Structures are given as C-alpha cells and as structure tokens.
Structure 1
Amino acid sequence: MPEKASAIGRSFFYSLFLKSSTQPILKLPTHFSTISSENDFKSVALETFQFQYKHVEVYRRFCQLLKVRPDTVSEIKQIPFLPIQFFKTETILTDGLQAEKTFNSSGTTGTITSQHYVADLEYYEISFLKAFQQFYGDAKEFAILALLPSYLERGGSSLVYMANRLISESKNLHSGFYLNNLTELIEKLKILEAKGQKTLLLGVSYALLDLIERQKFQLKHTIIMETGGMKGRREELIKSELHDILTEGFGVEKIHSEYGMTELLSQAYSKGNGIYQCPPWMKILTRDTEDALTYITGKTGGLNIIDLANTHSCSFIATQDLGKLQQDTTFEVMGRFDNSDIRGCNLMVL
C-alpha cells in the first residue's frame, strides 16, 4: 500500500468534527487496520458496536426493537446483526455525516438495489489494499486485467472502484478493464504469458465462461479470480461445477474467488476449492437457518458478517447467503436463501 501522509487522516478529521459544530466530539473506535489478534478483534468489535448503537440511527432502532442495550453486550455473539435488506430502503450512515461516495448493488430490472453510503473512502481503500497485500503480495508484481462488463455498464460498483485502484497500483502498462472486447483480451493474455508476466484476471463468472468459449488456454503465469454471479446472463451453476469448467478452459490447477458485496468494505478470498479466508478485521459467523440467534459451525447456515472497516455504516450484517464455517475460521459459500428479498424485514418497521 503506498505511503501517504493522509493514510487515515480523514478518519482523524471525523474524530474531531461532525457536520454540525454544535454536536459533541465524535470518538471513533480503534482503527480496524491495527487488528492483529483475536483479542484485538473482539475489543474493536465491541467498541464498534457501542459506537454504531450510539451514532447510526437505523442500527440503534433495530437493536432497541430486539431489546439489546450496549450495557448488556460483552461478547461478539451478543451483538445484533442487521438484516442486509435494510440497505435497500434506509440510509445507514453515522449521524451527521454525509456520503463521500454511494455504491449501488446490481439488480434485475424493477428490483430495488442496495445503497451503501460511504462517509470516508480511505476506509475502503485501506481495507482492500491491505487485504490484497496479505493474500497476494504487492500489486506492482502483477498485470491486472478486469473482465467486469455488467459492473462497468451499470456504474456505482464498489468492485469496479476496487479493481480500478488495484490496476493503478499495479503500474503495469498491460493492466486495464475489458467490456466486450474479448478478442483483445485473448491477445493480451497470450502476450503476458509469452513474457512470463505474473497476471491476475478478475472476472464475473458469465464473462469468464464467454471467454473460454472463444478460446481455450494453458495459462502458467495467470491467476483466474471469479467474483461470482451470472447476472441473469447464464444459468446459475454450483460453485464446484463452475470451477471445473473454468479450470479446464483456462488450463489452470485452481480457480480463485473474491467474496464481497456492495454493503461491505472488506473482501474474503479463496485460493482454490471454494475455501475462503478473511483479513484480520473481518469475520464470518453462521446462524441456524431456523433460529437466527443461534450460531453453528461445520454445517450449512446463514452467513453473518462482521466487517470492522465499515465503521460509519453497519459492521454487523446478516446476509441472505448460505455457507459453512469451519473450526479454523475458513468458510464456504453454498448459495442463497429462497425469497431473500422478504425474509427478516418483519423484524423492524421504519
């Protein structure tokens, strides 16, 4: 991650001032980037819960409906997780702050999309740059190719924002975005392979399938990373089937994956076999599908995500993804709940 004097300067600014000078000083939780142990994580998670209960109105009202008060919470599993559907209807943002950037989720025509109001983009940038460094090393070692047509076409994508910054960080003249110009991308991959250049191809699943239908590869210097989702362009496949097709088509041993979403500022990564790991400031819990307040390990449940980079929004989100958490904290993503647009919303009337 590049050094710069203002690396978390805007965070300090927010700790001193709110939009209105008549409001009290806003004391932020310990910055997520300092977390290096389980004890650190627990401490910052509890600080963040206290902060968001006090300063994020939607989350506070949700906790109050569940009759959870800050003075009753001393363990992570006592913290309420906000149903992700509220990002479709509410402004989830620290009181008194304004969004520096608003990210929008993808959606089919006529559906309501999520809005993530980000008060400080440096939180996002620090999160994805540090995570990439942790899992893959220096971006400068890579040529980074982004095949994200559906995301580029709609605008407001947090994934495109991340990919654009990583492309910039790579400093490689071959790095860049691809929309529908698959012939050009095929030639680029051939050039980079011939050079022996370490390359990352980040692509939405259906576009990667389109690519290997045009051209079969035998790639030795390229990581293929899928971001999931057919976006209505192809029939959905189970992850293992998708990866089998992609490994054969690209001639690689494993397919990597990125797990993130509009409502988060952090990503988990898989280096193969659909097994994901989180950076130190992100954690996955799995809730029982029949009892949202009971947690399970080793069998399929709903994914609850703690994202401590999401300081000015909500760090505790109950998603509609299904997954399986292992004792070593790695996890798999198994699919989605049915009727995910309506479940959980009856917990709160705003």
Structure 2
Amino acid sequence: MNAHHPIFSINSDKAFEEHALAIFKHQSTHCAVYQTYLYHLGIDPAQVKQTADIPYLPIAFFKSHEVIADSRQPEIVFSSSGTTGMAQSRHFVTDVNLYQDSFKLAYQQFYGNIADTCLLALLPSYLERDGSSLIYMVDELIAQSQHPLSGYFLHNHDELFNILKKLQVAKQKTVLIGVTYALLDFIEAHQLHYPELVVMETGGMKGKRKEMVREELHMVLKAGFGVSSIHSEYGMTELLSQAYSYGEGIFNCPPWMKIVLRDTNDPLSLISTTQTGGINVIDLANVNSCSFIATQDLGKKYPDNSFEVLGRFDQADIRGCNLLVQ
C-alpha cells in the first residue's frame, strides 16, 4: 500500500494554505491549459502569495481541453453524463490512488468504517454508461463493505424493498445511495418506516422527472423512507473529492477540499460568506489536473465553512445574469 499523499494529513487552515500554494505553483507551470488561462488573465504566478489571489479555472475547460498537470499517461479517464449532443467533461487521472484515498478517507470521516456497513446503490443512469467516477467510487466501497447484501439495484425495486426490510430487522447499519429520480420511483411503489437507514441522494433528476426544490424533494423522500433527514453527496467528474450533507442540504468538505464563493456578475471577484455566489472549489486531490475550479453551481457559504447548493447557472450565461434555480 502506498503512503497517503501529504494533503490527506492536513489538519489546520495554515497547512491547507501551504499545500494549496505549493500545488498552485506546480499547476501554473505544469498544467498547460491553466498556464495559458493565467497568461490571458495577465496573472504572474510568482505574485500569488495567498490562496485568496489564486484564479479559478472555469469548469467548462474540462469539456474542451485535456486539463492535466502531469507528464504521465492517464490511468483512467472519467467522463460526465452530459445530455445527448452536448460535450462531455473528461477528467484525465494519472494517479488513481489519489482518488481512492480521497473518497475512502472522506467516507470514513463522515460515515465511519465501511466494513461495518451494508451499502446499497440505486444508480441506474450511472450504471448504464461508462466512465462514471461515482460508479468507480461505489464499486470500491461495495468491495470494501464486508456485508454479503451490499450491491447495486437497477430497476429491481421489489428485491431492494425486501432486502431493506431484512436489514432493518437485523439492525444492520445500512446506507442507500441513490440517484434522486430513482429514489422517488422506488418510494412511489414501496413505503418504508426505517428511521435508522441513511438515505443519500446524488445526481438529480437526469431529465427523467420534473426538477423539485430541495425542501419539497427531501420532504417526499423522508416520508417515503420514514427517516428524519436525507443525506446528500456533492461530487462531480472534474473533482476527485466529495462533500457530504447529513441533512437540510448543508454540506461539509473533507480537510483537503474547500469552497469559495465568487461574485455572479464578476467571475474573478470572490465574495464573503452569507451572500449567494458562484461556487468555486479548491480540491487538493486534483493535484495532477487542476485544483482550482469555478463550477456552474450557485451556492451560499456559512461562517463554519459549511455550504448549500442553491441551483445552477444557466449554461448559456455563465456570468450569472440569468440564473436557473433548480
């Protein structure tokens, strides 16, 4: 087993700042796309002395360019789902151990030992295509879970219902991770009262159902599963780390990941907490691609560094004059 990368030992703001600046220096010279972007902004990397001065690469570059800061060949290429006819994001990963360490250590931090857990996955739209980083993660976690019933469910909802009932009787610690529309499909056919179950939604409607505001969605899911809160996972093809929410749509990051907000009308200006802005992510696990990403999500950040995702920018206008709130 390789030793973990030093980023996974970060335990203070100062350590985060030091690692982030070191990774910025590396990527500003070794990631051609990022280097060119900085050049066009007129940024001299040598003048960047704090993370607050680091520019964020628009996430759309993952659709049009190979964002890579490493001379090695990629070990794996993750791709986004993307609707038909739209360009897919691609993330060229030269060291898949970084991804494995990132999701395993984060999962353990938020949910404890996976070996004690039965992990059930209801992820049809992800299973039906190649290149999903989420499926890669869930595959690995299922393999690490030592429970014989851990596994995937495509459309076999009756079987999933029976297994959940069995696990509830056995008082087995269980996590059900599901794409949002599939969880709704499931509870339309099967009602549960399973307060101990962790239900984790990810990935939205994928064009299969009408979008719902989070409060309404979580209310429906809580009633259907008989749970007091709905957990969520915030991750994407372009990031090798995930943030998690225990409920109410409030997410927290692992120590090597941070959320910063930008002004919706001026993408290069950062804003303070409590305002709404575009979500920028520092993901230090992206050491071999780009760790400083301006996403197309809109969010709000709180003084304790937790954050909320409020919607997405309209594809057509990333500057944010026209907002499409889910």
Shift of 1:108: 1.2
Identify which of 137, 148, 156 aligns with 1:173.
Answer: 148
Q: Which amino acid aligns with 1:310?
A: N
Percent identity reads 52
- 1:1-350 equivalences under 5 Å are 4=1, 6-8=2-4, 31-296=6-271, 297-339=273-315, 343=318
Shift of 1:7: 4.1
> 1:186-237: per-residue Cα shift (whole Å, max 9, x none)?
1111110111101000000000000000101001331000013100000011
2:196, 2:227 within 8 Å by CA — same for their partners in 1?
no
1:140, 1:171 within 8 Å by CA — same for their partners in 2?
yes
Shift of 1:293: 2.2
* TM-score calculated relative to the size of structure 1: 0.89
> 1:52-82: per-residue Cα shift (whole Å, max 9, x none)?
0111100100011111112110111110100
Distance 1:117 1:96 in 2: 11
Q: Which amino acid aligns with 2:136?
A: Y
1:193, 1:220 within 8 Å by CA — same for their partners in 2?
no
1:254, 1:273 within 8 Å by CA — same for their partners in 2?
yes
SS at match of 1:154: coil
Report the RMSD for the aligned CA atoms in angstroms.
1.1
1:257, 1:272 within 8 Å by CA — same for their partners in 2?
yes
Gaps of 5+ in 2: 320-326
Distance 1:108 1:48 in 2: 33
Count residues in correspondence. 318
1:7, 1:122 within 8 Å by CA — same for their partners in 2?
no
* TM-score calculated relative to the size of structure 2: 0.95
2:262, 2:270 within 8 Å by CA — same for their partners in 1?
yes
Q: Which amino acid aligns with 1:37?
A: S
2:278, 2:296 within 8 Å by CA — same for their partners in 1?
yes
Shift of 1:95: 4.2
Distance 1:131 1:74 in 2: 28
Distance 1:65 1:36 in 2: 35
